[in-house]
Amino acid sequence: MAEPGTTQQPEYYVKSAEKTLGVLLAFNGGAASLTVTQVADAADLSRAAARRFLLTLTDLGYVVADGNAYRLTPRVLDVGAGYLAGLSLPRVARPHLTELAHRLDETATLSTLDGQDAIYVARVAAPRLHTVTMNIGNRLPAWVTSMGRVLVAALPEEARERFYRQTVVTSYTSSTVGTLEQLRAEIDKVRGQGWCLVSKELDDGLSGLAVPVRRGDEVIAALNISVQAGRLGSVSIEHDLVPALQETARRIAEDFGGRTV
């Protein structure tokens, strides 16, 4: 029977499993190694019990003695390996793309950069559309799309210059940038403002708005919505659409392991 003021655990509950996890989680404080006393305090164990758990984890290969202290070994990563194996970026992003597509009634897409191309890795069509003409895995020239320019803007300078050298500026519409110098200027603008609008450059009837998806300091993808040209006048790009995309990009990054606070 539980003592007054305590929570009754179910019959199946294995207290030693809780204590083992408590010992492992004691190392989450940021210290590279911990003494037996420090582990005992963090895991709410007696010093003798903490020592027994540490010695057992040492025998199993999850902890190693470091002088008078202990530290974790890389083997602890095995505990989360199964979860991480199923945690792909498209899978993480899809519910967020669905929410964004329904909120804005526009098609939402997640893309990555492969050489000179932006590749669609996840896509949710606007609710008003019955068909989707661009499928997962489809490629578009990165230089002439909003998501591509966001991804190029995030490249290190050397890689960005290599991208420019391999780019052939082609006139898709009368609005397409006409020279490599103009393209450089557009991408410099993207680097400064943190988002990109490409209007009617690839198709006369379509515009694209994109923001980066960041994990720490790394841009891992670009989030884009396709906007019919006639719909742009009814909303504010900077005050309505960009914040909505940035918030969705932040949520995708956090769910994919990008939380920094």
CATH code for the domain of 69 = 1.10.10.10
* Exposure string over 61-72, b if 16+ CB within 10 A, otherwise e: ebbeeeeebbeb
Range of the domain at 216: 88-258
Q: Please report whether residue 6 resides in a domain.
A: no
Rounded CA separation 51/40 (Å):
8
**Residue that terminates a domain, selected from 63, 82, 101:** 82
pLDDT at 76: 85
From first to last of its 261 residues, the chain has per-residue pLDDT tens of 344 445 577 888 899 999 999 999 998 877 789 999 999 999 999 999 999 999 999 999 999 998 899 999 888 878 776 665 665 899 899 999 999 999 998 999 999 999 999 999 999 988 876 554 456 778 899 999 999 999 999 999 999 999 999 999 999 999 999 999 999 999 999 999 999 999 989 988 888 999 999 988 899 999 999 887 666 666 688 888 999 999 999 999 998 875 443
- DSSP strand pairing (196-199 vs 117-124): unpaired
User: Would residue 69 count as lying in a domain?
Assistant: yes
Q: Sign of torsion, CA 35 39 45 48?
A: negative
Contact 145, 202 (CB under 8 A): yes
9 occurs within a structural domain: no
> With 0-12 CB in 10 A as exposed, 13-18 as middle and 19+ as buried, what is 209?
buried
With beta carbons less than 8 A apart as the criterion, state whether 39 and 55 touch: no
**pLDDT, position 172:** 92
CATH of the domain at 223: 3.30.450.40
pLDDT at 153: 97
Q: Is residue 3 part of a domain?
A: no
Q: How many domains does the chain have?
A: 2
Element (H, E) at 25: helix 15-25
